[in-house]
A = this chain, B = another copy of it.
Amino acid sequence: MPDSTKTTTACLIVIGNEILSGRTQDANLSYLANWLNERGVRLTEARVIPDIEDTIVTAVNECRKAFDYVFTTGGIGPTHDDITAASIAKAFGRPLVRREEAVELMRKFYGDDNLTEARLRMAHTPEGAEFIENPISRAPGFKVENVFVMAGVPLNMQSMLESVAHLISGGDPVRSRAVWSHTPESAVAQGIADVQNRHEDVDIGSYPFYREGRTGTTLIARSTRTATLDKVQEELMEVIRSVGGEPHIGDATDLKTGT
C-alpha cells in the first residue's frame, strides 16, 4: 500500500457518546498518533462521532476511501449501545455473522454457564472480517479491509494495536526536535517562517505556553529526515538568540502525550 514518494495516512474514528457528552476524556488519539509516528504513518484526521448507525456508516465509508488506514475505537462490548460491529457490516454491505471460533474462545474463558446472550453479541463481525486478538480481555476487535475496529478502553485498545502491528507499514519514522524559550511567539514569527521556507520537508509548529507566571514559545520541528531536523533545530535556536532570547532544547509544556 505505501510507496516511498507518498505519505502513508491514517484516520481515527472515535465512536462514543461518552466522549461527546464530556463525561470521558479521550486518551486513544494521542497514543495512536505516537504509535503511528514510530511506523512512519501520519495520523491525518480524527473524528469523534455518536453511537448512531447512520453516522458511523457515513464516517467509515468516507474515511476508508480517503486514508490508507482507518482505526475505530469504542462500541464493541456486550450492551445495547455497542453498535459498531453492525454498523461496520452495513458500511461494507456485508452481513453481520456469528463467528464460531470466537464463541469457542469465549466458552473457554467464561464457561458454558456464563456464555450469555449479551456476551455472544461480541462474537459477531461483518462476514469475512479478521479478528484482532485482545490478550488482556475476552472481546476481540476485527479488521475489514483497511478498517481496524478496536475497543475504546485504552488498555484494551493498546493491546489490540500490538496485535496488528505487523499489518501496518508506512515510511520512515517521524521524528521531532523541540526548542523552547521565554521569547513571545510574535518576536520569532518571521524568523521561524524563514526557516520553514528553507526546509519544505520539515513541519515546524509554534506553541505558546504559560508556565509559572511566564509566557514563552515552544517550537517543534517534525520530519522523517533526522539530519535536516538537527540543522533546523540549530537554525531555530539561532532565531531565538537573534531576538535576544535564550533557547533551550526540549518542550516546555507538560501537556505531553497520554502514554
- Seen from chain A, the residues whose Cβ lies within 8 Å of a Cβ on chain B are 17-27, 29-34, 37, 42-51, 55, 77-82, 116-119, 121, 153, 155, 174, 176, 185-190, 192-193, 196, 203-208, 210, 220, 222, 251, 253, 255-258
Tell me which of B47, B55, B81, B220 contacts A204 (CB under 8 A).
B81
Contact of A50 among B25, B34, B45 (CB under 8 A): B45
Q: Please state if A222 and B19 are interface contacts (CB–CB under 8 Å).
A: no
Contacting residues, chain B, for A153 (C-beta < 8 A): 208, 210
Given contacts A23-B220, A118-B185, A222-B21, contact A81 B190 (CB under 8 A): no
Known: A17-B205, A47-B45, A79-B192. A186 touches B116 (CB 8 A): yes
Closest to A114 in B: B186
**In the bound complex, do residue B47 and residue A47 qualify as a contact, i.e. CB atoms below 8 Å apart?**
yes
Residues from chain B with Cβ under 8 Å of A80 in the complex? 189, 192-193, 196, 204, 206
Q: Is the CB of A21 within 8 A of B37?
A: yes
Q: Is the CB of A203 within 8 A of B78?
A: no
> Is the contact region of chain A dominated by helix, strand, or loop, or is it mixed?
mixed
A208:B46 contact, CB within 8 angstroms: no
Could you tell me if A46 and B48 are in contact, using CB atoms closer than 8 angstroms?
Answer: yes
Cα(A257)–Cα(B24), bound, Å: 6
User: In the bound complex, do residue B23 and residue A44 qualify as a contact, i.e. CB atoms below 8 Å apart?
Assistant: no
Name the distance in Å between A213's Cβ and chain B's nearest Cβ: 13
In the bound assembly, the distance between CA atoms of A118 and B206 in angstroms comes to: 13
Q: Chain B residues with Cβ under 8 A from A116's Cβ?
A: 186-187, 189-190
Judging by beta carbons under 8 Å apart, are B118 and A190 in contact?
yes
CB neighbours of A31 from chain B (8 A): 22
The complex places the Cα of A122 from the Cα of B174 at a distance, in Å, of 31
Residues of B near A25 (CB, < 8 A) are 25, 27, 29-30, 255-258
Task: Tell me, rounded to whole Å, the shortest Cβ–Cβ distance linking A33 to chain B.
Answer: 3
CB pair B251–A23 under 8 Å, yes or no, is yes
Nearest CB to that of A79 among chain B residues? B206
